[in-house]
Amino acid sequence: GAPETRTPTGAETGAPTTANGQQGAYLTTSQGARLRDTDHSLKAGPRGPILLQDHHFREKITHFDHERIPERVVHARGAGAHGVFTGYGTAEDVTRAGFLAKGKETPVFVRFSTVLGSRGSADTVRDTRGFATKFYTDEGTFDLVGNNMPVFFIQDAIKFPDIIHAAKPHPDREIPQAQSAHDTFWDFVSLHTEAQHHTIWNMSDRGIPRSYRTMEGFGVHTFRLVNAAGGTVLVKFHWKPKLGVHSLTWEEAQLLGGLDPDFHRRDLYDAIEAGAHPEWELGIQVFPDTPEETFAGIDLLDPTKIVPEELAPVQPIGKMVLNRTPTNFFAETEQVAFHLGHLVPGIDVTNDPLFQGRLFSYVDTQLTRLGGPNFSQLPINRPHAPVNDMLRDGFHQDAVHGGVAPYRPNSLDGGNPFPAGDAEHAFVDVPVTVAEAPKVRANPASFDDHYSQVRLFWLSMSPVEKEHIIRAYTFELGKCYHQAIKERQLRALANIDPVLCAEVATGLGLPAPEPTLPLTDVTPSPALSQVGREWPGD
Q: Which residues carry out catalysis?
A: 75, 147
Instruction: Give the residue with the Cβ less far from ligand HEM, 357 or 507.
Output: 357
DSSP 150-165: S--S-SSGGGHHHHHH
For residue 171, count other CB atoms closer than 10 A to its CB.
8
- Site for ligand HEM (CB under 6 A): which residue of 89, 107, 244, 357? 357
- Site for ligand HEM (CB under 6 A): which residue of 189, 225, 354, 461? 354
Residues pairing with 490 in the sheet: none
Q: Which of residues 319-348 bind ligand HEM (CB under 6 A)?
A: 336-338
Instruction: Give the residue with the Cβ less far from ligand HEM, 265 or 466.
Output: 265
Residues 165-204: x where in contact with ligand HEM by CB under 6 A, - otherwise, as a string: ----------------------------------------
Q: Does 133 bind ligand HEM (CB under 6 A)?
A: no
| Residue 113 beta carbon to ligand HEM: minimum distance, rounded to whole angstroms | 5
For residue 358, count other CB atoms closer than 10 A to its CB.
21
Residues across the chain: 538
| Residue 143 beta carbon to ligand HEM: minimum distance, rounded to whole angstroms | 9
Which range, of 41-49, 358-366, 381-389, 471-479, touches ligand HEM by CB under 6 A? 358-366
Cβ(89)–Cβ(341) below 8 Å: no
Q: Which residues contact 301 (CB under 8 A, 6 or more apart)?
A: 222, 293, 350, 351, 352, 353, 444
Instruction: Give the residue with the Cβ less far from ligand HEM, 132 or 492.
Output: 132
H or E, element range at 82: strand 78-87
CA pair distance 146, 320, nearest whole angstrom: 15
For residue 425, count other CB atoms closer than 10 A to its CB.
11
Instruction: Give the residue with the Cβ less far from ligand HEM, 145 or 286.
Output: 145
Q: What is the DSSP letter of 333?
A: I
Q: How do beta strands 105-114 and 78-87 pair? A: antiparallel
CA pair distance 505, 507, nearest whole angstrom: 5
CA pair distance 134, 141, nearest whole angstrom: 7
SS3 label, residue 298: strand
Rg of the chain, C-alpha, whole Å: 26
Q: Does 145 bind ligand HEM (CB under 6 A)?
A: yes
Residues 266-305: x where in contact with ligand HEM by CB under 6 A, - otherwise, as a string: -------------------------------------x--
Sign of CA dihedral 436, 441, 444, 445: negative
Question: Which residue of the chain is nearest ligand HEM when measured via CB?
Answer: 130
- Site for ligand HEM (CB under 6 A): which residue of 11, 42, 73, 191? 73
SS3 label, residue 290: coil
On the 0-12 / 13-18 / 19+ scale of CB atoms within 10 A, 179 is buried
For residue 280, count other CB atoms closer than 10 A to its CB.
25
| Residue 34 beta carbon to ligand HEM: minimum distance, rounded to whole angstroms | 39
Instruction: Give the residue with the Cβ less far from ligand HEM, 35 or 69.
Output: 69
CA pair distance 118, 83, nearest whole angstrom: 26
Q: Does 472 bind ligand HEM (CB under 6 A)?
A: no
| Residue 168 beta carbon to ligand HEM: minimum distance, rounded to whole angstroms | 13
Q: Does 130 bind ligand HEM (CB under 6 A)?
A: yes
H or E, element range at 253: helix 250-259
- Site for ligand HEM (CB under 6 A): which residue of 79, 91, 157, 380? 157
Q: Which residues contact 165 (CB under 8 A, 6 or more apart)?
A: 184
Tell me how many residues contact ligand HEM (CB under 6 A).
Answer: 28
Q: Does 369 bind ligand HEM (CB under 6 A)?
A: yes
Nearest to 135 by CA among 426, 448, 346: 346
Residues pairing with 75 in the sheet: none
Which range, of 66-74, 384-392, 410-418, 491-499, touches ligand HEM by CB under 6 A? 66-74
| Residue 158 beta carbon to ligand HEM: minimum distance, rounded to whole angstroms | 8
Instruction: Give the residue with the Cβ less far from ligand HEM, 113 or 350.
Output: 113
| Residue 130 beta carbon to ligand HEM: minimum distance, rounded to whole angstroms | 3
| Residue 194 beta carbon to ligand HEM: minimum distance, rounded to whole angstroms | 13
Q: Does 134 bind ligand HEM (CB under 6 A)?
A: no
State the Cα angle at 121 between 119 and 127, rounded to 5°.
Answer: 105
- Site for ligand HEM (CB under 6 A): which residue of 147, 148, 202, 304? 147
H or E, element range at 237: strand 232-241
Instruction: Give the residue with the Cβ less far from ligand HEM, 110 or 253.
Output: 110
- Site for ligand HEM (CB under 6 A): which residue of 56, 77, 111, 206? 111
Residues pairing with 140 in the sheet: 137
SS3 label, residue 132: strand
| Residue 151 beta carbon to ligand HEM: minimum distance, rounded to whole angstroms | 8
Q: Does 152 bind ligand HEM (CB under 6 A)?
A: yes
Which range, of 239-247, 364-372, 515-523, 528-536, touches ligand HEM by CB under 6 A? 364-372
Name the site residues for ligand HEM (rule: CB under 6 A): 72-75, 78, 111, 113, 130, 132, 145-147, 152, 157, 160, 220, 303, 336-338, 354, 357-358, 361-362, 365-366, 369
